[in-house]
Amino acid sequence: MGYLLDTHSLLWALGKPDALSDSARTAIRDANSIIHVSTASLWECAIKTSIGKLQLPEEFFDAVTRAGFEELQIRIAHLKVYGGLPMHHRDPFDRMLVAQATAESLTLISQDSKMTKYDVNILN
């Protein structure tokens, strides 16, 4: 099964796994799961760190690959889906995650209630 971590789910998976739901923790730990992390989430983390809205451990970005997560680059197919999404969510990073999950047929691991307004599989 393929999953895409929302940015907050990524932060929790690496730093506060107990903040994730039992089902999300189970999916992330399942050896048969492929867990993707979008470059959009990594970019969002870098931006928020640079402006002082987020503090990350120095090894945060290296921890993503050490955890066995797959980096999901933004591709043209994702941008095509993104352009057609309704504005249920104003956050461009979150809309990109919805577009990527949709285009790649991934289940989005997110507790953001605004994500449920989109036609995308969600595991909260």
Domain holding 16, by residue range, is: 2-123
CA 109 to chain centre: 7
Domain count of the fold of the chain? 1
Residue-wise pLDDT for 62-121, tens only, equals 999 999 999 999 999 999 999 999 999 899 999 999 999 999 999 999 999 999 999 999
Residue-wise pLDDT for 12-63, tens only, equals 999 999 999 999 999 999 999 999 999 999 999 999 999 999 999 999 999 9
- Write down the pTM of the prediction: 0.96
pLDDT computed for residue 29 by the predictor: 96
Q: Which helix (H) or strand (E) holds 117?
A: none
Confidence of residue 123 (pLDDT cuts 50, 70, 90): very high
No. of helices (H) and no. of strands (E), the chain: 6, 5
For the chain, the C-alpha Rg in angstroms (whole number) is: 14
Confidence of residue 2 (pLDDT cuts 50, 70, 90): very high
Please state, in angstroms and as integers, the Cα–Cα distance from residue 20 to each residue in 15, 27, 69, 94, 112, following that order: 11, 11, 16, 18, 12
The CATH code of the domain that includes 39 is: 3.40.50.1010
Other beta carbons within 10 angstroms of residue 6's beta carbon come to 25
